[in-house]
């Protein structure tokens, strides 16, 4: 039996949040509905952040109220602070269900201050309040450790600090932990080592890895994570994305490229790659610029071509 690897897509949130032009709400909803039919495990559909800071997330409530939900797909949102948490729970109760909430802090103090204007300890004080709110509302919570493999300001981040933050999430009662390679600084040896330690230290929760392909090591890092026992991965359709508070950060690993690789390697992703590619090829027109996805241009590995009429040999 093939090993199952679970693929989550974050394009509508992580991908669209840095786009200069506003992506129409109906376009986002149509894209989420298309992704829902592909077999993805999770779709991160929006973020409850201040609309002046991230204009493309201003329609969070409308999105949750109008998407077509498919059984078996988890619809998640990102929350930056207590205010966002209050808005998400109110939406959950009155407009559109929230299956899972992602909250985050950076392993680096400098990046955490730049990203959310909080110290790491202050962030955890907020999380202690948020987890109670989520449990009362019946919503799952995942805790993200950003810059887990390196910080663009501080450089190396001690591994024991990353693992310590993961344990703090679990001790608070979170359902899972995500390690985020926010600026694409991770390498496969580092990923395998830290991921194996995470699985051993926090065995009874969900583990997810979130890679960016800034330095071209994203898919290699996925393979390293699988070797360490991680079976859940974030990707972004067409390779969109990048943290606005991380200098030099480029897009996330590409969802369809990841699925293509894993299926070729003999893993079961549960994803219909043809449906995923049908959505991906529309992305350049949606965002108004080229995207980094490879398989959408080259075709699936076994996408064969007609033999030329004339074959030339040397």
Residues tagged active-site: 243
CB burial readout 257-279, b (16+ within 10 A) else e: bbbbbbbeeebebebebebbbeb
Q: Report how far apart, in Å, the C-alpha atoms of 300 and of each of 35, 176, 253, 284, 292 are.
A: 18, 32, 17, 19, 15
The residue count for the chain: 314
Alpha-carbon distance values, 228 to 129, 190, 235 (Å): 32, 11, 19
Q: Which helix (H) or strand (E) holds 310?
A: none
Q: For 158-282, where are the alpha helices, taking DSSP H only?
A: 159-172, 188-201, 218-228, 255-264, 273-280
Residue 36 has a CB neighbour count (10 Å cut-off) of 20
Residues 72 and 37 sit within 8 Å (Cβ to Cβ): no
Report d(CA 265, CA 295) in Å as an integer. Answer: 15
Instruction: Say if CB 98 and CB 139 are below 8 A apart.
Output: yes
């Amino acid at each position: 039996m093939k090993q199952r690897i679970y693929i989550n897509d974050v394009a509508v949130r992580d991908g669209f949040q840095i786009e200069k032009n506003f992506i129409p709400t109906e376009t986002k909803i149509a894209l989420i509905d298309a992704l829902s039919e592909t077999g993805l495990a999770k779709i991160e559909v929006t973020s409850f952040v201040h609309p002046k800071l991230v204009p493309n997330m201003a329609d969070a409530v409308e999105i949750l109220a109008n998407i077509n939900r498919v059984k078996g797909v988890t619809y998640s949102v990102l929350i930056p602070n207590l205010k966002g948490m209050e808005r998400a729970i109110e939406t959950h109760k009155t407009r559109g269900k929230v299956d899972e909430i992602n909250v985050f802090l950076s392993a680096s103090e400098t990046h955490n201050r730049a990203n959310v204007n909080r110290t790491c300890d202050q962030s955890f004080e907020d999380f202690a309040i948020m987890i109670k709110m989520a449990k009362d509302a019946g919503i799952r919570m995942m805790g993200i450790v950003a810059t887990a493999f390196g910080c663009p300001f501080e450089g190396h981040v001690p591994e024991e600090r990353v693992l310590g933050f993961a344990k703090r999430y679990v001790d608070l009662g979170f359902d899972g932990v995500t390690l985020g390679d926010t600026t694409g600084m991770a390498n496969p040896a580092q990923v395998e080592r830290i991921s194996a330690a995470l699985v051993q230290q926090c065995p009874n929760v969900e583990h997810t890895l979130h890679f960016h392909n800034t330095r071209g090591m994203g898919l290699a890092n996925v393979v390293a994570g699988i070797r360490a026992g991680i079976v859940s991965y974030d990707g972004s359709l067409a390779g969109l994305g990048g943290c606005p508070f991380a200098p030099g950060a480029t897009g996330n690993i590409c969802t369809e490229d990841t699925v293509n690789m894993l299926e070729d390697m003999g893993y079961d992703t549960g994803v219909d790659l043809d449906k995923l590619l049908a959505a991906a090829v529309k992305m350049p027109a949606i965002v108004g610029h080229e995207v980094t996805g490879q398989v959408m241009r080259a075709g699936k590995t076994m996408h064969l071509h007609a033999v030329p009429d004339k074959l030339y040999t040397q």
